[in-house]
Amino acid sequence: MPAEFATRLSVADARLRVLELCATRRLPAEAVALESALGRVLAEDLIAPHDQPPFANSAMDGFALRGEELPRTGERAFRLVGQVLAGAASAPDCGEGECVRITTGAPLPRGADTVVIKENVRVEGEAVFVSAGESAHANVRPAGEDYRAGEIALRAGERLTPARLGVLASLGQSQANVARLPRVGLFVTGDELVPPSQALGFGQIHDSNRYSLGALLRQCGIEPEPVAHLRDDPAALREALRAAGERCDVVVSSGGVSAGEADFLPNLVAELGKVHFWKVRMKPGMPMLCGEVGRALVFALPGNPVSTIATFLALVHPALTALQGSPGTAQRTWRARLAEPLAKKHERAEFLRASLQSRDDGGLWAKPLRKQGSGMLRGVAEADALIFVPEEAHELDAGAVVEVLPLPGLF
């Protein structure tokens, strides 16, 4: 294979190259109904078409009146001239010495600028008695308190959360203009793999990567193409890559990417397209490859189950996000303190499986788990997060502050 590509990149350099590639491959926009937009990435800024709330309204159930008329001492009687409920088509005016019964969310009557809550008044017939101590302009939500007309309410690149969907709806939007989801082809390779439903023969193991990788993609909101299990056969791999490069935006594979006798993917990606880099200075997951075939970016991940998950989270997830126009650097990481010391002898960055503990003092602590082998799924299954140990760090004391990457499903 020609050596016209980078190799043994740091995690930071590999991620930067991935994001640079994705910046030139942004996916087009499409309009989707709000009911289907959860988790999608906005393709354009949302400009508020009107004030929100569109009119001044009451924040409490009570009585609307003129704040300048509130008593400074003793109490004052206001004449009750009507009521206005939320959703009312009109409201009575509030003149001098008058008040209007009002419910939460109802439009503020003309002339009124204050609401006194019902618990703080005494009502006798059509007289409402208000004592000293109330504040002018209290319990009123001004028009535009949340968003002003013409203001940027949501920005392109933001992922639509339940609250952001509420913003869209509150501003009269029944659809959202979002980036199209990437079309992803998912391959698992290896002659040793058999489905979970099949009894194991000599030298065989059950295929777990199709399920963990498929689930990781679905948690990104992406339904991959039906997963293909490919044997370690160059002709079959070549045809699968070529075909996927014609129809997909991204191809994610596991296995066949190291330097063994049956690791054909590096040469095939170079033959059919281009290798951007191969091997990243990380543990687990060093043999990971990034390239392209046809129109598709290719992420060939190692076959060891933990390596597969770690490289997906470190490099593929940021790519899928960046393709949709959201900053790939926005991947959420936390800071925690080590619950026990750790040491490493190698020069690579390491992602250690860890449990998280919130202590009584409010601090977050990360405890490395014992099962750290790259083929040991138990460690990931029992983990809450991955501790990121930089290349240059070799010994870290208990209590040291470290970066942690929460695993999907933590909440």
Question: Quick check: 411 pLDDT over 70?
Answer: no
CA-to-CA distance for 40 and 407, rounded, in angstroms? 20
**Angle, CA of 133, 134 and 139, to the nearest 5°:** 155
- Residues 354 and 375: their CA atoms lie apart, in Å, by 16
Residue boundaries of the structural domains of the chain: 6-27+181-330, 35-50+148-179, 57-141, 334-406
Q: Quick one: pLDDT band at residue 3, thresholds 50, 70, 90?
A: low
Give tens-digit pLDDT for 197-251.
999 999 999 999 999 999 999 999 999 999 989 999 999 999 999 999 999 999 9
Side chain identity at 297, as an amino acid letter? L
Tell which CATH architecture fits domain 6-27+181-330.
Answer: 3-Layer(aba) Sandwich (3.40)
- Homologous superfamily assigned to 57-141: Molybdopterin biosynthesis moea protein, domain 3. (2.170.190.11)
Percent of residues, the chain, with pLDDT higher than 70: 98
What's the confidence (pLDDT) of residue 373?
86
Spatial CA neighbour of 395 closest among 324, 342, 316, 317 = 342
Domain 35-50+148-179 homologous superfamily, CATH? Molybdopterin biosynthesis moea protein, domain 2 (3.90.105.10)
Look up the CATH number of domain 334-406. Answer: 2.40.340.10
Tallying the residues shown for the chain, one arrives at 411
332-371: pLDDT as tens digits:
899 999 999 999 999 999 999 999 999 998 999 999 998 8
- β-bridge mates for residue 100, sequence order: 64
Sheet arrangement for strand 75-84: 114-117, 62-65, 98-102, 75-84, 127-131, 121-124
- How is the beta sheet containing 184-189 ordered, strand by strand? 6-9, 274-280, 289-293, 296-301, 250-254, 184-189, 228-230
Distance CA 287, CA 405 (A): 21
* pLDDT per residue as tens digits for the range 120-130: 999 999 999 99
Cβ 63 vs Cβ 115: under 8 Å: yes
Q: In whole angstroms, give the CA distance from residue 94 to residue 242.
A: 74
- Reported confidence tier of residue 155, pLDDT bands at 50, 70, 90: very high
Give the other-Cβ count within 10 Å of 163's Cβ. Answer: 7
Residue pLDDT, tens place only, 292-304: 999 999 999 999 9
